[in-house]
């Protein structure tokens, strides 16, 4: 499987759900269903299953790694998108992802990683302590269900701030897919998230120091 396959599949589904009025009910169902095997998630099943290769689909009534990762990222997107006139998704490598001249300009704007956005929010002194605590909780476990639950709360914080920024939920799906592969793979993803969160904060602190010199 190509490294970016889960990312691209998720991005394609988001474009479909965002650009088609008849899918608004699907987004509502996704927001109301915490997991892929929830009965309330059924409207999303055919969309996700059609988009994934057969060997990435689950068997025996249990969601596959790919199904869980894609659905979880779609749900976070759906939560973030609700009530917003701005398209909140944007792929980091947007020029590579889209080759269609019919794509609207807002869909082509680049996004950033979720934890990079959280790192930006960390500069708000009113948020720093609570945000650091929640991020540490997220990075301290290799249980994917606990991580997904924490990420939902973090997306809720971002949504509440009404930031004019786009997040690459496809990249987040890709991270969640690899998170489930092994203990070592989960550690690699957690380190990457930590680098995005704390590295961004360190960069801002350095820039602030340079301005004060």
* The pLDDT of residue 103 is above 70: no
User: Which pLDDT score is estimated for 201?
Assistant: 59
Stretch 161-178: mean pLDDT:
94
Q: Are the C-beta atoms of 159 and 79 separated by less than 8 Å? A: yes
- The candidate with the shortest Cα–Cα distance to 113, out of 91, 135, 134, is 91
User: Which pLDDT score is estimated for 118?
Assistant: 95
User: Which pLDDT score is estimated for 93?
Assistant: 75
- CA 33 from chain centre, in angstroms, equals 16
Three-point CA angle 48, 161, 90, nearest 5°: 40
**3-state SS, residue 167:** strand
Residue 205 banded pLDDT, cuts 50, 70, 90:
low
Q: Is the pLDDT higher at 52 or at 109?
A: 52
Gap between the Cα atoms of 97 and 150, Å rounded: 28
Three-state SS annotation for 177-203: HHHCCCHHHHHHHHHHHHHHHHHHHHH
pTM score = 0.87
Q: What is the pLDDT of residues 115-157, one digit of tens each?
A: 999 999 988 888 899 999 999 999 999 999 999 999 999 999 9
The ranges assigned to domains in the chain are 5-212
**Please, what is the average pLDDT of the chain?**
87
User: Which pLDDT score is estimated for 164?
Assistant: 86
Q: Are the C-beta atoms of 74 and 30 separated by less than 8 Å? A: yes
Stretch 107-112: mean pLDDT:
75
User: Which pLDDT score is estimated for 22?
Assistant: 80
Instruction: Report the percent of the chain where pLDDT is more than 70.
Output: 85
User: Which pLDDT score is estimated for 74?
Assistant: 97
User: Which pLDDT score is estimated for 100?
Assistant: 41
Q: Is the pLDDT higher at 175 or at 109?
A: 175
Q: Tell me, which fold does domain 5-212 have in CATH?
A: Peroxidase; domain 1 (1.10.520)
Residue 108 banded pLDDT, cuts 50, 70, 90:
low
Gap between the Cα atoms of 137 and 131, Å rounded: 10
């Amino acid at each position: 499987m190509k490294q970016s396959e889960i990312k691209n599949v998720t991005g394609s589904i988001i474009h479909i759900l965002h650009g088609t009025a008849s899918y608004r009910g699907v987004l509502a169902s996704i927001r109301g269903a915490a997991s892929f095997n929830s009965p309330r998630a059924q409207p999303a099943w055919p969309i996700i299953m059609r988009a994934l290769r057969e060997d990435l689909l689950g068997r025996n009534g249990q969601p596959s790694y790919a199904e869980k990762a894609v659905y979880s990222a779609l749900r976070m997107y759906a939560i973030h998108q609700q009530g917003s006139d701005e398209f909140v998704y944007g792929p980091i490598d947007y020029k590579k992802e889209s080759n269609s001249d019919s794509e609207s300009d807002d869909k082509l704007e680049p996004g950033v990683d979720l934890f990079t956005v959280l790192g930006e929010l960390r500069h708000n002194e009113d948020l720093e302590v609570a945000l650091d605590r929640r991020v540490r909780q997220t990075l301290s476990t290799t249980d994917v269900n606990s991580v997904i639950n924490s990420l939902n709360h973090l997306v809720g914080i971002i949504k509440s701030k009404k930031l004019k920024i786009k997040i690459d939920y496809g990249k987040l799906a890709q991270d969640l897919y690899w998170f489930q592969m092994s203990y070592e793979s989960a550690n690699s993803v957690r380190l990457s998230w930590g680098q995005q969160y704390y590295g961004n904060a360190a960069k801002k602190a350095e820039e602030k120091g340079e301005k004060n010199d």
